[in-house]
Amino acid sequence: MDKFRVAVVGALGAVGTEMTKTLENRKFPISEFIPMDIESMAGKKVTFRGKEATVRAAKAGAFRDVDIAIFSAGSEASLKLAPIAVSEGAIVIDNSAAWRMEPGIPLVIPEVNPDALDGHKGIIANPNCSTIQMLVAAKPIHDKYKIKRIVVATYQAVSGTGAPAIAELKSQAKQYTEGKPIEVNVYPRQIFFNLIPHIDDFTENGYTKEEMKMVNETHKILDPAIAVSPTAVRVGVIRGHSESVNIETEKPFEVADIVKLLKKAPGITVMDDPSKKIYPTPLDCDGKYDTFVGRIRRDPTVPNGLNIWVVSDNLLKGAALNAVQIAETLVEKGLKSRKM
Amino acid sequence: MDKFRVAVVGALGAVGTEMTKTLENRKFPISEFIPMDIESMAGKKVTFRGKEATVRAAKAGAFRDVDIAIFSAGSEASLKLAPIAVSEGAIVIDNSAAWRMEPGIPLVIPEVNPDALDGHKGIIANPNCSTIQMLVAAKPIHDKYKIKRIVVATYQAVSGTGAPAIAELKSQAKQYTEGKPIEVNVYPRQIFFNLIPHIDDFTENGYTKEEMKMVNETHKILDPAIAVSPTAVRVGVIRGHSESVNIETEKPFEVADIVKLLKKAPGITVMDDPSKKIYPTPLDCDGKYDTFVGRIRRDPTVPNGLNIWVVSDNLLKGAALNAVQIAETLVEKGLKSRKM
């Protein structure tokens, strides 16, 4: 079997760390693992499959021996470096928002639109975390019953912001329990024992960029005819995004059939037995690959209405895992390593 | 001015404590303050306006000298004791769910339906916390533009469950920061650094009782024609319920006019300037009387769609304050103390 030289760009970040672990755990066929990060981090070590790999500075020239470069280093780095990496012969799977809405760049959730990968030109975008789990759950419903409209409210973990936000939530918890003043740096407000209805910058129309990602990425990935009305909220949870998703379909359905569809869909675990208090919470999904769906019930306020509750690990299916699954799908579709 | 003998039943609980404080702060005309609680608590002291009052056992015979009894002692106590209190001559304002949906019992938010108090028969019900703040915000919009449908997702603080839940959240925070095992007693799962899509018992239709309260109480208080599709979620916040509220009206509106209506409506503070990161969070509303509304924006996915974000202190407007406001409204409407 062909093996690949795989770089993780932003290897020392919260998502980069998960990418390395996910590549290990899923036994991706790797001949050489190349961690990359900003110049000042070059020389540090990252352990991969029990061996130390040296962090390489991510810059022009660094990608000449790379088959697949998985980027999680922010939009600015991706905008600058992804085209360079492609020009040096690598395929880029980019976790930032930089390329997602660019025409001609595939935006891919392997369970939803794997064939968007065909004919890619080197850069493939990984969707936003909150979009991925919503669409994994929406896809089987849309295929059979055609979704017209989604009203979604999110409950998003701080790890989506990165390692400094995790540190801030934890240190605010410590400050609180020790009776010390609570320091606020990463978020506009204290996040511990609080929540903030504001993720990413606000846009002209009153929605945040995070909310508009859920609208625009749904249109690009699943169907431009699906109307999405989002509210994105940061909560004091470390890991695991939750979403209250209200769906209206064109065709009538039985709730039992929705449950059946979700149960057999790839990447979904149905956790739904209220009588036994079975429904997904963020802690139930921490470290898991699947998207978890519970609280599946009819919304009787519209002709074909449905409410579901969707939880997934935002660092895995929402980021690292989806990126690695894109690489796996490329291999399944015939990607070969460059012979050098 | 007439003064009243006011009892708070459940005076030692989380809401009871707030009721006592609210009666003090709002200068309710009180000639005698009578804290009541279960028999085993009788004899304890509660401070009211600088003086100690002795807790009286809440039981038959205890209400003979009471003008107004504000109950926050759970449904069971209310079912049993409210009719007794009324037969002994008191007016009962009940914070439990026991009497809310009973025909002939007024269910009142003073800003929304004060005239429902007219012709009451002794028991007046205080609505559920999550309903109150939603309807305070919905009322001015409904009056002018007629609301057809609401899709709401809640983010509810643990204080809604009571003092043991506050203690559990705080002790889980302490256990976490000290690296100790986390003990779970009050909720079905750990609530610290987590959230739980389950408040009150589940009903046959897959919705919880908490969710059905939002449906049924909206119909009784505001308009039976408003369709409500709710999801109620408990979050790791001590105080302050938040709600993402998606509204569809019958008549077309300008968002600027909605903002104007909300600004002049009683009991509402508009906190909405995204450019300055102004929007309500639970900590912003802790200890405040108003219902705070922010993130006011058009939902373009339906003809007359609106998204708003509503936060209020669940122990105050969601419970104690609303109960005291009901008493104030009764006085405004001519309630007299019994002469004995």
pLDDT per residue as tens digits for the range B293-308: 999 999 999 999 999 9
Whether B184 has its CB under 8 Å from any CB of chain A: the answer is no
Choose among A177, A188, A281: nearest Cβ to B194.
Answer: A281
Whether A307 has its CB under 8 Å from any CB of chain B: the answer is yes
| Separation of alpha carbons B331 and A159, rounded Å | 52
- Coil, helix or strand for A54? strand
Asked if residue B338 is part of any domain, the answer here is: no
A82 sits in which H/E element:
helix A75-87
Residue A18: CATH number of its domain: 3.40.50.720
**pLDDT of B105 strictly over 70:** yes
Residue from A259, A283, A312 to probe the interface with B (highest B Cβ count within 10 Å): A283
Whether A259 has its CB under 8 Å from any CB of chain B: the answer is no
Q: Do A155 and B202 touch (CB under 8 A)?
A: no
pLDDT of residue A340: 67
- The answer for B 263-282 residues in CB contact with A (under 8 A) is 274-275, 277, 279-282
- Residue B143 and residue B279 in one domain: yes
Choose among A151, A189, A233: nearest Cβ to B283.
Answer: A189
Question: How many domains does the structure of chain A reveal?
Answer: 2
- Coil, helix or strand for A3? coil
The four Cα atoms B44, B48, B51, B55 give a dihedral, to 10 degrees, of: -20
Whether B151 has its CB under 8 Å from any CB of chain A: the answer is yes
Say if CB B322 and CB B100 are below 8 A apart.
no
| Separation of alpha carbons B309 and A292, rounded Å | 26
Residue from B186, B202, B210, B301 to probe the interface with A (highest A Cβ count within 10 Å): B301
**Token output for A163:** 């390692």
List CB contacts (< 8 A) between A148 and chain B. Answer: none
List CB contacts (< 8 A) between B228 and chain A. Answer: 301
DSSP assignments along A252-284, one per residue:
---HHHHHHHHHHSTTEEE--BGGGTB---HHH
pLDDT of residue A178: 96
**pLDDT of B338 strictly over 90:** no
* Catalytically annotated residues of B: 129, 241
CA-wise closest residue to A237 among A133, A154, A158: A158
Say if CB A185 and CB A163 are below 8 A apart.
no
The three-state (H, E, C) secondary structure of chain B, written as one string = CCCEEEEEECCCCHHHHHHHHHHHHCCCCEEEEEEEECHHHCCCEEEECCEEEECEECCCCCCCCCCEEEECCCHHHHHHHHHHHHHCCCEEEECCCCCCCCCCCCECCCCCCHHHHCCCCCEEECCCHHHHHHHHHHHHHHHHHCEEEEEEEEEECHHHCCHHHHHHHHHHHHHHHCCCCCCCCCCCCCCCCCEECCCCCECCCCCEHHHHHHHHHHHHHCCCCCEEEEECCEECCCCCEEEEEEEEECCCCCHHHHHHHHHHCCCEEECCEHHHCECCCHHHHCCCCCEEEEEEEEECCCCCEEEEEEEECCCHHHHHHHHHHHHHHHHHCCCCCCCC
* Catalytically annotated residues of A: 129, 241
- Coil, helix or strand for A222? coil
- Coil, helix or strand for A130? helix
Say if CB A250 and CB A153 are below 8 A apart.
no
Whether B287 has its CB under 8 Å from any CB of chain A: the answer is no
| Separation of alpha carbons A226 and A213, rounded Å | 14
Residue from A155, A193, A246, A313 to probe the interface with B (highest B Cβ count within 10 Å): A193
Whether A302 has its CB under 8 Å from any CB of chain B: the answer is yes
- Coil, helix or strand for A24? helix
| Separation of alpha carbons B253 and A84, rounded Å | 50
- Residue A63 and residue A150 in one domain: no
CA-wise closest residue to B262 among B290, B241, B281, B286: B290
- Residue B181 and residue B290 in one domain: yes
Asked if residue A338 is part of any domain, the answer here is: no
Q: What are phi and psi of A25, to 5 degrees?
A: -65, -35
- Residue A154 and residue A114 in one domain: no
- Residue A64 and residue A167 in one domain: no
Q: Do B205 and A297 touch (CB under 8 A)?
A: yes
Choose among A233, A279, A284: nearest Cβ to B198.
Answer: A279
Asked if residue B300 is part of any domain, the answer here is: yes
- Name the minimum distance, in Å, from the CA of A334 to any CA of chain B: 40
Residue from A154, A175, A184, A194 to probe the interface with B (highest B Cβ count within 10 Å): A194
Residues of chain A with pLDDT under 50: none
Q: Do B155 and A233 touch (CB under 8 A)?
A: yes
Give all strands of the β-sheet with A241-249 in edge-to-edge order. A227-231, A147-155, A241-249, A305-312, A291-299, A268-270
| Separation of alpha carbons A87 and A61, rounded Å | 10
Give residue B339's pLDDT band: very low, low, confident or very high (50, 70, 90).
confident
Amino acid at A239: R
- Residue B179 and residue B98 in one domain: no
List CB contacts (< 8 A) between B246 and chain A. Answer: 151, 229, 231, 246
> How many CB atoms are located within 10 Å of the residue A6 CB?
27
CA-wise closest residue to B126 among B163, B96, B83: B96
| Separation of alpha carbons A55 and A65, rounded Å | 15
Choose among A153, A195, A208: nearest Cβ to B153.
Answer: A153
Q: Do A283 and B194 touch (CB under 8 A)?
A: yes
Check residue A210 and report its DSSP letter: H
The four Cα atoms A23, A25, A29, A30 give a dihedral, to 10 degrees, of: 50
Q: Do A242 and B228 touch (CB under 8 A)?
A: no
Question: At which residue do the structure tokens 């499959």 appear?
Answer: A49
- Residue B112 and residue B208 in one domain: no
Question: At which residue do the structure tokens 């979904």 appear?
Answer: A268
Asked whether the ipTM of the predicted complex exceeds the cut of 0.90, the reply is yes
Mean pLDDT across chain B, nearest whole number? Answer: 97
- Coil, helix or strand for A200? coil
The three-state (H, E, C) secondary structure of A145-160, written as one string = HCEEEEEEEEEECHHH
**Token output for A335:** 């990607």
Choose among B169, B202, B300: nearest Cβ to A274.
Answer: B202
Q: Do B233 and A205 touch (CB under 8 A)?
A: no
- Residue A90 and residue A169 in one domain: no
Q: Do B229 and A174 touch (CB under 8 A)?
A: no
Say if CB A198 and CB A188 are below 8 A apart.
yes
- Residue A110 and residue A139 in one domain: no
List CB contacts (< 8 A) between A231 and chain B. Answer: 153, 244, 246, 295, 307, 309
Whether A304 has its CB under 8 Å from any CB of chain B: the answer is no
> How many CB atoms are located within 10 Å of the residue A79 CB?
14
Spell A152-164 as b/e; 16+ CB within 10 A means b.
bbbbbbbbbbbee
- Name the minimum distance, in Å, from the CA of A195 to any CA of chain B: 6
Whether A242 has its CB under 8 Å from any CB of chain B: the answer is yes
Q: Do A155 and B235 touch (CB under 8 A)?
A: yes
- Residue A143 and residue A49 in one domain: no
- Residue A205 and residue A73 in one domain: no
Q: What is the mean pLDDT of residues B259-279?
A: 97
Asked if residue B30 is part of any domain, the answer here is: yes
Say if CB A91 and CB A66 are below 8 A apart.
no
Domain coverage including residue B144 = 130-314
Contacts of B260 (CB under 8 A, 6+ apart): none
- Residue B273 and residue B167 in one domain: yes
> How many CB atoms are located within 10 Å of the residue A107 CB?
22
Spell A111-134 as b/e; 16+ CB within 10 A means b.
bbbbebbeebeebbbbbbbbbbbb
CA-wise closest residue to B11 among B81, B58, B50: B58
Q: Is the pTM of this model over 0.80?
A: yes
Tell me: the pLDDT tens digits for A98-133? 999 999 999 999 999 999 999 999 999 999 999 999
CA-wise closest residue to B277 among A215, A161, A199, A211: A199
- The answer for A 209-228 residues in CB contact with B (under 8 A) is 227-228
Residue B225: CATH number of its domain: 3.30.360.10
Asked if residue A23 is part of any domain, the answer here is: yes
Q: What pairing do the DSSP bridges indicate for beta strands B123-125 and B91-94?
A: parallel
